[in-house]
A and B are shown apart, each in its own frame.
Chain A
Amino acid sequence: MEALLSVMIGVLTAGGVYLLLRARTFSVVLGLSLITYAVNLFLFASGRLTRGAPPILAPEITHYTDPLPQALVLTAIVISFAMTAFVIMLALRARAELGSDHVDGHINQPPNTQD
């Protein structure tokens, strides 16, 4: 199971990095989402992989799973959800303001022109 999860995280990260390096805002947003999925899985695995065990520590329970990474992942999911929503809005705004979905605004225009 560990090997499968590592491969999954690796593939998601690699795909995310590839998409992040594209020049269009849509692929950049997709790349960010993929990397976020990868990091969520990674955080989840940081408490070790345990199957069929409750995330509760009690005197009669000997086999349990670490609840903290689950809380961390939940926080990270909420934050990344908000961030994805924001970056999509900003990408749409950039499309409207700059007339192109290129990350620099326009392909043939130098990015350092002033307002």
Chain B
Amino acid sequence: MHESWINHLVIAPLLLPLLIGTLLLLARRTLSLTIRRTFNLAAILGQLILAVELLLLVSDGTILTYRLGHWPAPWGIVLVADRLAVWMLLVTALLAFFALLHAMQGTDRRSRHFHPLFQLQLLGLNGAFLTGDLFNLFVFFEILLLASYGLLVHGGGAARVRAGLHFVVINLIGSTLFLFAAGALYGLVGTLNLADLSLKLAHLPPEHLGPARIAALLLLTVFALKAALVPLHLWLPAAYAATAAPVAALFAIMTKVGAYALLRVETLLFGTHAGILSGLYPAWLLPLGLLTLVLGALGALAASTVRRQIAYLVVVSVGLLLTAFGLGTAAGIAAGLYYLVHTTFATAAFFLLADLIRRQRGALSDRLQPGPALPNARLLGGLFFITALLVAGLPPFSGFIGKFLILRAALAAPDWPWLVGIVLVTGLLGIIALARVGSLLFFHIRGAGSGAATHPLPQPGYFRAALPTIGLLTLCLALLIGAGPLLNFTDATAAQLLNPHEYIHAVLKPIGIQFAPEEFAP
């Protein structure tokens, strides 16, 4: 009984949101709001438990695989749970839990489709992390995008629809490019299974180098679009600034899906073992990551509303993350994985906090103009201060550890003065931008009492309203306290990623495909 349960554990993070999402969709008119909320919350808690269970199973380096329909690997679709995939599953479930708690304060009343879309979004995210097949990754991308289109325009309004239209069209173009890349790779080597692709691309004849590079760079373009890497970042600020706060918080993981896919493809398909194709991605990721840092920081300085500024800070975090992944070293990837979790939680908390502040400021909304004193300035100001320290990467919080580790890993790169210089200067710009917003919101008081809040939080309830934000900030604190064990885990994850023969072995061993492990020696 126990053994067979473990065999199916890998697909459970897909089945749970699919079943609950479908149920919520079919019963959206019959079930009361309380029951729909309970179902959604229970499903997320279930995914959290599954992610923890899987984490315990893979933490010793085991790679679990699940063959759908029991078809052997390169012919059937395979799900793979390794350290990286499960790490992402856990982050997604934790983030979704607090985003949903915030949404229960009223966002989910706007339409009956919020809860089904939320679960289908999680289905797409979990599937993208678990799948071991390139075309299946495309399908899960489409699932998560279709759900995200619905969530983005949830609640309606001109700004959301306009941002939504741009978001949808650019992502549809991205999907088309993904198909071109997948088709080109299939035409070249005749497989779409990631492990099999890795084996076959390593032995690519030199005359196929040109088309293979085009396909690889098309994939890079697609994932860079999802991750909002410059120059494909322009959709992000408008979309994230216009949408509802819990959706923006959940979308903090959306850019990380692109980063995840880049990391997976960079290490598995085009790593050091890949022969003529190896080292293709770092050459692009490093300069573009640094450029993203600069443009994101400038955007954060120039932003005219709090939410738009946070959206630009998301762009900054993507830049730093992909710079770390672009280093291509174990230290860089490990530091990046730690920073990924930190920045996901910190920016999500910031979006939720901006919503709390916005609700207190009435007609001024979150525009950066001086207004009357906030009713709960002590709580909100305190939270803002902590969040700003986290996002800016200042000690003593987890952002500092992440940034410090990335900088330490960058010292090994040949052009480290550029790397360190740009990261530090953009960090300073970020601090200036955040200090400006903080002092303007909390100290620059003008016209006391004139702008009454449209939805003032009731005095006893304001602490409860801030609880999801506080929860996310507590997670960041846990990242700080548990930094030792967590960094051991990310180090092990990076080692596993840079040694792709373990992955290939786990996927292809059941059918006895022979390959020489010494080819994959680092």
State the CA gap A66–B153 with chains docked (Å): 41
Residue in chain A with minimal CB distance to B179: A39
Q: Closest CB-CB distance, B280 to chain A, in whole Å?
A: 21
Q: Closest CB-CB distance, B175 to chain A, in whole Å?
A: 7
Is A30 on the interface with B (CB-CB < 8 A)?
Answer: no
Q: Closest CB-CB distance, B242 to chain A, in whole Å?
A: 7
Check A32 against B159 for contact (C-beta < 8 Å).
no
Given A28-B169, A86-B146, decide whether A46 and B187 contact each other with a Cβ distance below 8 A: yes
Chain A CB within 10 Å — which of B166, B169, B182, B186 has the most?
B169
Check B159 against A103 for contact (C-beta < 8 Å).
no
Digit string of B165-177 for contact with A (CB within 8 Å is 1, else 0)? Answer: 1101100110110
Given A36-B176, A83-B146, A86-B146, decide whether A114 and B365 contact each other with a Cβ distance below 8 A: yes
State the CA gap A20–B166 with chains docked (Å): 12
Digit string of A31-60 for contact with B (CB within 8 Å is 1, else 0)? Answer: 010011001001101111000000000000
Residue in chain A with minimal CB distance to B191: A68
Among B168, B175, B183, contact of A46 (Cβ-Cβ < 8 Å)? B183
Using Cβ atoms and an 8 Å threshold, which residues of chain A touch B192? Answer: 68
Q: Closest CB-CB distance, A12 to chain B, in whole Å?
A: 11
Check B175 against A90 for contact (C-beta < 8 Å).
no
Q: Closest CB-CB distance, B177 to chain A, in whole Å?
A: 9
Using Cβ atoms and an 8 Å threshold, which residues of chain A touch B175? Answer: 79, 83
Residue in chain B with minimal CB distance to A42: B183
Digit string of A80-102 for contact with B (CB within 8 Å is 1, else 0)? Answer: 00110011001101100110000
Residues of B145-176 contacting chain A, CB below 8 A:
146, 149, 153, 156-162, 164-166, 168-169, 172-173, 175-176
Using Cβ atoms and an 8 Å threshold, which residues of chain B touch A111? Answer: 162, 238
Check A32 against B169 for contact (C-beta < 8 Å).
yes
Using Cβ atoms and an 8 Å threshold, which residues of chain B touch A68? Answer: 186, 192
Using Cβ atoms and an 8 Å threshold, which residues of chain A touch B165? Answer: 25, 90-91, 94, 103
Given A39-B176, A45-B187, A46-B184, decide whether A86 and B168 contact each other with a Cβ distance below 8 A: yes
Check A98 against B162 for contact (C-beta < 8 Å).
yes
Q: Total interface residues on A, using CB and 8 Å?
A: 38
Is A6 on the interface with B (CB-CB < 8 A)?
Answer: no
Using Cβ atoms and an 8 Å threshold, which residues of chain A touch B184? Answer: 46
State the CA gap A47–B165 with chains docked (Å): 34
Check B305 against A42 for contact (C-beta < 8 Å).
no
State the CA gap A58–B372 with chains docked (Å): 79
Q: Closest CB-CB distance, A71 to chain B, in whole Å?
A: 9
Is B462 on the interface with A (CB-CB < 8 A)?
Answer: no
Is B139 on the interface with A (CB-CB < 8 A)?
Answer: yes
Residues of B471-507 contacting chain A, CB below 8 A:
none
Is A112 on the interface with B (CB-CB < 8 A)?
Answer: yes
Check B159 against A35 for contact (C-beta < 8 Å).
no
Check B183 against A43 for contact (C-beta < 8 Å).
yes
Is A72 on the interface with B (CB-CB < 8 A)?
Answer: yes
Given A75-B135, A82-B146, A98-B162, decide whether A20 and B187 contact each other with a Cβ distance below 8 A: no
Among A91, A93, A113, contact of B159 (Cβ-Cβ < 8 Å)? A113
Using Cβ atoms and an 8 Å threshold, which residues of chain A touch B186? Answer: 43, 46-47, 68-69, 72
Among B164, B180, B308, B365, contact of A90 (Cβ-Cβ < 8 Å)? B164
Chain A CB within 10 Å — which of B146, B179, B182, B367 has the most?
B179
Check B142 against A79 for contact (C-beta < 8 Å).
yes
State the CA gap A56–B365 with chains docked (Å): 63
Q: Closest CB-CB distance, B354 to chain A, in whole Å?
A: 13
Q: Closest CB-CB distance, B24 to chain A, in whole Å?
A: 19
Check A93 against B161 for contact (C-beta < 8 Å).
yes
Check A35 against B173 for contact (C-beta < 8 Å).
yes
Using Cβ atoms and an 8 Å threshold, which residues of chain B touch A97? Answer: 156-158, 161-162
Using Cβ atoms and an 8 Å threshold, which residues of chain B touch A45? Answer: 183, 187
Check B157 against A75 for contact (C-beta < 8 Å).
no
Among B149, B182, B305, contact of A86 (Cβ-Cβ < 8 Å)? B149
Is B88 on the interface with A (CB-CB < 8 A)?
Answer: no
Residue in chain B with minimal CB distance to A9: B180
Is B241 on the interface with A (CB-CB < 8 A)?
Answer: yes
Residue in chain A with minimal CB distance to B159: A115
Chain A residues with CB under 8 Å of chain B are 20, 25, 28, 32, 35-36, 39, 42-43, 45-48, 66, 68-69, 72, 75-76, 79, 82-83, 86-87, 90-91, 93-94, 97-98, 103-105, 111-115
Can you spell out 13 A-B residue pairs with CB atoms less than 8 angstroms apart? A39-B176, A39-B183, A46-B187, A68-B186, A68-B192, A87-B169, A94-B164, A98-B158, A103-B166, A104-B162, A105-B162, A112-B238, A114-B159
Closest 6 CB pairs of A and B: A46-B187, A115-B159, A46-B183, A43-B183, A39-B179, A46-B186
